[in-house]
Amino acid sequence: MVVSMIQLLIELPDVTSIKEKRRIIGSLRDRIIRKFRLTAAEVDLQHSLSYSQIGGALVSNSKQYGESVLQKVLRFVEDEVPGRLQDVQILSERY
């Protein structure tokens, strides 16, 4: 079993309220889950107005497959997020 994980640090410079940030991040998270069939959540910086950290995970039987899906997630987020990606980490662990 291989668990592939992605962590995205997103800067949202034009957000003016926590409510607006949660709407943007919640919508992005939901679209990632529906489109790529993986688990995702806002894992840190929930109270920050300008930043969000989203984590996602996918279980498969192949490191190559898992990481290829996460590369597609990355491209999707780059196209859809109304801010800037500050940091991205993708890794896989075999269990």
Question: Listing from the earlier edge strand, what are the strands of the sheet with 84-94?
Answer: 39-44, 51-60, 2-11, 84-94
pLDDT tens-digit series, residues 32-67: 999 999 999 999 887 888 899 999 999 999 999 999
Domain with residues 2-94, CATH architecture: 2-Layer Sandwich (3.30)
Whole-prediction pTM value?
0.84
Instruction: Please choose, from the candidates 79, 77, 73, 44, the residue with its C-alpha nearest in 3D space to the C-alpha of residue 57.
Output: 73
* Domain spans in the chain, listed from the N-terminal domain onward: 2-94
CB 51 within 8 A of CB 11: yes
Percent of all residues in the chain with a pLDDT value above 70, rounded to a whole number: 100
Beta strands in the chain (DSSP E): 2-11, 39-44, 51-60, 84-94
Q: Are strands 84-94 and 51-60 parallel, antiparallel or unpaired?
A: unpaired
Could you tell me which residues are beta bridge partners of residue 88?
A: 8
